[in-house]
Amino acid sequence: MPLSKTGYRLFDIGGLAEEMEVSRDLVEILIIQPGFPYYPIPTYKKPRYLESAVAKYLEENVKYVHKV
């Protein structure tokens, strides 16, 4: 299932990589970009990533190059 701009799921790095169908290394590079949305939750050691915020960030910041 693709990421939704109205989604409410929270992901960790592994879950985000699985959902985006990319490597964990690629997600780790993505999340260190300026402005990438994350949510620190006191009961978790590492931040979580809200589906709708990630989808919005990707739509606004990722440029696709179409090869013909």
- Sequence-ordered strand ranges (E) for 15-66: 49-50
pLDDT digits (tens, 9 = 90+) for 13-46: 999 999 999 999 999 999 999 999 999 999 999 9
Quick check: 54 and 65 in contact, CB under 8 A? no
Which residue do the tokens 């050691």 mark?
A: 45
Q: In this predicted structure, what is the pLDDT of residue 34?
A: 93
Q: In this predicted structure, what is the pLDDT of residue 1?
A: 61
For range 43-50, the mean pLDDT:
92
Domains of the chain by residue range: 10-61
> Phi and psi of 48, rounded to 5°?
-115, 160
The single-letter DSSP state of residue 33 is S
| Percent of the chain residues topping a pLDDT of 90 | 72
Q: In this predicted structure, what is the pLDDT of residue 2?
A: 78
